[in-house]
Amino acid sequence: MKGVWVIIKSIFKFIQGLGTTALGLLVILFLVGLYAASNRDTRPVVPNGAVLVLWPNGSIVEQAEYPDPLDELFTDFNSVPPQTSVHDILRSLDRAKGDGRIKAVAVLTDNMFGAAPSHLHAIAGALRDFKASGKKVYAISSAYSQGTYMIAAEADKVYMNPLGSVLLTGFGSYPTYFKDMLDKIEANVNVFRVGTYKSAVEPFIRNDMSPAAKEANLAFLNSLWEQYETSVVTARGLEPGALTAAMNTVNEDLRAVGGDFAQLAVSNGLVDELAARQDWRQALMDEYGSTPDGTSFNQIHFEAYLAATDKPNMNPNQIAVITAQGEIVMGEGPITVTAAETVVGYIRDARNNPNTAAIVLRVDSPGGSSFASELIRQELVAAQQDGLKVIASFGPVAASGGYWISATADEIWAAPSTITGSIGIFGIVPTFERTLDKIGIHTDGVGTSPLAGAFDITRPMTDTAKDIIQQSIENGYDQFLNLVATGRNMTVEDVDKIAQGRVWVGSKALELGLVDHLGDFGDAVKAAAAAAGVDSYSVVFYRDQPDRFDQMLASFLNSSMGGGLKGSLAPHMSSMMKTALELKSSAELFLSQFNDPNARYAVCFVCKVKE
């Protein structure tokens, strides 16, 4: 009992040290609230006859970062774009199709910032599968971008605001070029590369896209557009080529409806009904009933639905999913990049787990450091040597280093719209001796050999240094070719013919032998289970875990504020803000993520497709 009083006295001394009794009481209430929030069941309840609201917030990605609860609370002051995991969307649709409590899906895309083609195809396919169960899908948005419309096209009924639009533009790839800027600051950019189509270095040495790059890029962009158009016209029952024809006559067609984009969408068969919010909301209330307060239709948000229906899977056979998302870099890092040490740690944890039956490497990466790529691949080989099958599953992009890490997997699965290949390598060593000279800064000194200071960016590169790096780049390219030849059971010469840095879509990559099968993530998981010889299994994603205190704080704020933090929606992002974020991303890649110890990179800069 004496020990308890000592603890109580210590707490009150701490409170006194905070300044005032009132502040101390607030601290106690806050801590009690956190404790209570962490120890109660806050699982939502699924209403009977509900509409599943599929309302993605932000960018669609493989794995979303765990949000800071305070960032979510103060969204008006938070400039970090939100994210939604594509796997959460797909799991909710797959689960809801057989759930008798869910009668329909309402897709709202106003707060989607963007999604890669393969993610859009995956969601569209999941909606088709949901409809096959006999349940309806409604698309409800103020307006539709090209990307969001591909999802909306699968709906039984597409609603749009009378002031909205559906403007289709096709696909494009428009990298940013820096040559003139580098010339103005008199920087010397020493570029080393192998591969006719390895255009990743072009932004540093040109102000435009080379003819070879245009040829290769237009080929894969045309394939992506063909897949997009086929999906939409099939879903909407339109004539083949209808979207391309409409884009070619959009000026005349728009003039015919008095410049009204909404009426143009209706006349083109893209939208079924123009309706204000209160109208489509009332239509769903009439069909599916109302919420308890009578303000909207009977519904549950897809993230709440997942929280309500998630159950612990105690199956001892685990398919370990290792995600490689974003640029491949050395060291440790968050889920937004493929940091070698972090990913290697996940692979090692999976292969040392006695319950792991097989590994699925899920890739959405344009590549990066070749050294970091090889570290990841070596750890996957170690897992294979331990007897584990490794199945690579390609998402939106698995190019350059993204292909390197997958090259020796037991099987490679890709989506038809996956952007892959770009098998090539390059090096960049900028020097700034002329830039510094211009502002009166100079370097001079002595060394014990011709190589002393040869790679100092304040001095010009010698011919010897340039030759060393070029030989290293050529050796790296040979290593890449040999890895692919070994993994794909091809000759080096045959690999070289389809390499050279050229980009392919998944459907063409299958023809070329760069992938084994076309299919989605679920297909790859089933293949992994089959390869491991297990019929019953659980799927375990290896990734960073949310901070326990953050979870408690989020739960406390949810309850004390009287609503879910997810209720706050991301604002629309202007074209200017999107461009600024893209430039920021490019600058971060060039300045902080080019950290290969050998200055050798396998990365694809044209793999980001713009709609």
Residues catalogued as catalytic = 198, 400
Q: Can you tell me whether residue 550 is helix, strand or coil?
A: helix
CA distances for 3 relative to 7, 44, 229, angstroms:
6, 41, 73
Give the dihedral sign, CA 196/197/202/207.
Answer: positive
Report angle CA 579, 581, 583 to the nearest 5 degrees. 70
Enter the tokens of residue 34: 């956190």
CA dihedral 122, 127, 133, 136 (to 10 degrees): 180
Cβ atoms 503, 220 nearer than 8 A: yes
Question: Quick one: tokens of 235?
Answer: 């879903």
DSSP string, 62-128: SSPPPPPHHHHHTGGG--SPPEEEHHHHHHHHHHHTT-TTEEEEEE--TTEEE--HHHHHHHHHHHH
Instruction: Provide the pairing of β-strand 517-518 with 338-339.
Output: unpaired
d(CA 476, CA 480): 6
**Which string of DSSP letters, residue by residue, matches 20-77?**
-HHHHHHHHHHHHHHHHHHTS-----PPTTEEEEE---EEEESSPPPPPHHHHHTGGG
Cα–Cα dist 430/455, whole Å: 10
Q: Produce one character per residue of 42-73: b if its CB has 16 or more CB atoms within 10 Å, e if not.
A: eeeebbeebbbbbbbbbbbbbbbbbbbbeebb
The DSSP letter of residue 200 is G
3 state SS of 349:
helix
Containing 137, the helix (H) or strand (E) segment is: strand 136-141
At residue 64, what is the residue type?
A
Cβ atoms of 428 and 191 closer than 8 Å: yes
